[in-house]
Chain A
Amino acid sequence: GNSVTQMEGPVTLSEEAFLTINCTYTATGYPSLFWYVQYPGEGLQLLLKATKADDKGSNKGFEATYRKETTSFHLEKGSVQVSDSAVYFCARSAGGTSYGKLTFGQGTILTVHP
């Protein structure tokens, strides 16, 4: 079945440090890939997405590239801020006609200190 695996956290960084959160997915079908962010006490917000191989999603300084050869969609940011502290979820769609159903990774807690 479909699955998504994220690097285990929590991740603690100092402000302006470089961020990488690894994500790999099962290579069934032709999924779209997503990163969602969840701030304390809130629902999920879409951070970025990529719908096909070699696409790069980007938003608010975050980037991720859809790598079919390595089945990966790693999240990166060159310089994190305290306001980036949140839980980050990698997700894949089911693909095909059921692409609306998302499978999520377990989440990575990011804490950024001043």
Chain B
Amino acid sequence: ETGVTQSPTHLIKTRGQQVTLRCSSQSGHNTVSWYQQALGQGPQFIFQYYREEENGRGNFPPRFSGLQFPNYSSELNVNALELDDSALYLCASSLSGGAGEQFFGPGTRLTVL
């Protein structure tokens, strides 16, 4: 059984640029959630995708967008990057009926200069 994988591991961008982060869900999982973890803080929910549709969103602006593909993998896109977007971005997969248990990937460390 393959766990959750994310790419790239690290990324450096400058203000105003756009970035795409990728996530492959654990085998058999049809739901993907994205979280932003600023340094020294707990993860903050960005949004969740279920069956290729957004299934809830946290308090993040529209420049944070996502996609889920038929194989349940997912992308997080961030436009017009700001310095405060520097964080660890975590992807988590789950079964829609899994009582909330989510399995996390290792994350992508984004640095915005």
Contacts and interface: CB of A to CB of B under 8 A. Distances in A.
A34 B45 CA distance: 15
Given A101-B45, A104-B42, A107-B42, A43 B99 contact: no
Interface in B73-113: 90, 92, 94, 96, 98-107
Contact of B100 (A32, A45, A105, A107): A32
Interface of B: 4, 31, 33, 35, 40-45, 48, 50, 55-56, 58, 90, 92, 94, 96, 98-107
B42 A106 contact: yes
Contact of B105 (A32, A43, A102): A43
Interface in A37-77: 42-46, 49, 51
Contacts of A104: 42-44
A93 B43 CA distance: 13
A102 B102 contact: yes
Interface residues of A, number: 26
Given A46-B101, A100-B48, A104-B44, 20 more contacts: A32-B99, A32-B100, A34-B100, A42-B106, A43-B4, A49-B101, A93-B100, A94-B56, A100-B31, A100-B55, A100-B102, A101-B48, A101-B56, A102-B45, A106-B40, A106-B41, A106-B42, A107-B40, A107-B41, A107-B42
A105 B102 contact: no
A28 interface: no
21 contacts: A32-B99, A32-B101, A34-B100, A42-B106, A44-B92, A46-B101, A46-B103, A51-B99, A89-B42, A93-B100, A94-B100, A100-B33, A100-B48, A100-B96, A100-B98, A100-B102, A102-B43, A102-B92, A104-B42, A104-B43, A106-B42
Interface string A89-111: 10101100011111111110000
Contact of A43 (B40, B48, B107): B107
